[in-house]
Amino acid sequence: MFILGQSISSKTVESTMDSTLDIKAVTEKKVNALQRFWNGINWDQILATLIEKAIYLLFLILLFVILNRIGKMLIDKTYGNYSKKQAFSESRLKTLHTLINNAFQYTLFFFFIYSLLTVIGVPVGSLLAGAGIAGVAIGLGAQGFMNDIITGFFIILEQQMDVGDYIRLTALGIEGTVTAVGLRTTQMKALDGTVHFIPNRNITTISNLSRSNMQVLIDVRIMPDEGYDQITTIIDQVNQELKEKYAESIQTGPTIFGMVDLGNGNFAVRTTMYVLNGKQAPIREEFLAQYVKKLSEANFTIPNTPITLK
């Protein structure tokens, strides 16, 4: 038994020594490989390459900084020349100025990144090929966004509307004053204060009510049998008084059109005039209020029953 135990112990010691020798040999082999790799590095060539790349990068940055300044200077100079012409509105010029500036910056940035990657040694061609496939998928998803951009660009370019114009969007059934015209959305403020944010792709027909003098129709309901001539006399007096008050806004009129039939036995005296765009609502309100006030003071009846059209 003692001999057997001694034999097993000696075998265990020999196995342990062999394992230790194997680990030591593998370690020495890896260290030698690493040392050979380290010694094989051409540090002079690497340093020369780094200096060369650094010089290229500095030259590239300097070149694009100069191009950026020259481009912005030309754009600003062109904007300054066109801003002196009365035929172009300030809001449209500012929008186009921002648009051209952004397009120039994005284009310059794209070429800068392309040149930077080329200098570093990144395979730009392979990246663009892979990005082309992803670009198709993204483009399909962003189709609505691109429609907004294109439509907004032509709205601005063709001068279809400006900030401050009162417009009506027939297809959407809304109208109001334009507060902002962007490449993606247009903002409108309705008479009740509601602010509408409209994607440009949804704008099909624009009825601009601010490009010429606007007609104002004012109907005041009356009882004809109380004396039509006396009623029209009072209305004409009101017209002459308010015409002086709104002399700068009223371009033509006011003129008494005459009696109109509103249907179902309802009659009104209609006054017409042309006023500057944007002045329709306050002038209509002021004239109608004065008509009702003066006729009521003269004891004429102003019907207040609802008008039902059949």
SS3 of 208-236: the string is ECCCCCEEEEEEEEECHHHCHHHHHHHHH
Side chain identity, residue 273: M
Query: What is the token pair recorded at 259?
Result: 């009696």
Joined tokens for residue 281: 């609502």
**What tens digit of pLDDT does each residue of 59-94 get?**
888 888 888 888 888 888 877 776 666 555 566 666
Quote the pLDDT of residue 1.
47
Answer yes or no: is pLDDT of 266 > 60: yes
CA distance 209 to 235: 27
- Structure-model confidence comparison of residues 100 and 186, the more confident one: 186
Structure token pair of residue 219: 């109907």
Could you give the 3-state DSSP secondary structure of residue 307?
Answer: coil
Cα separation of 116 and 268, whole Å? Answer: 77
Q: CA 232, CA 230: separation in Å to the nearest integer? A: 6
Q: What is the mean pLDDT of residues 181-198?
A: 85
Asked whether residue 127 carries a pLDDT value surpassing 80, the answer given is no
Joined together, the tokens standing for residue 72 give 């912005």
Are the beta carbons of 183 and 152 closer than 8 angstroms?
yes
- CA distance linking residue 124 with residue 117, whole number of Å: 7
Strand boundaries in the chain, DSSP class E: 166-169, 174-181, 185-189, 195-199, 206-208, 214-222, 250-263, 266-275
Spatial distance between the Cα atoms of 195 and 190, rounded to a whole number of angstroms? 6
For the chain, the average pLDDT equals 75
Q: Of residues 133 and 249, which shows the higher confidence score?
A: 249
Please check the confidence at residue 2 and state whether its pLDDT lies above 50: no
Strand 195-199 versus strand 185-189 pairing type: antiparallel
The model scores a pTM over 0.75: no
> CA–CA separation, 224 vs 221, rounded Å?
9
Q: CA 170, 172, 175, 180 torsion: positive or negative?
A: negative
**pLDDT average, residue stretch 10-34:** 60
Nearest of 25, 44, 23, 45 to residue 33 by alpha carbon:
25
Residue 180 buriedness (CB in 10 A; 0-12 / 13-18 / 19+): middle
Please tell me whether residue 36 adopts helix, strand or coil conformation.
Answer: helix
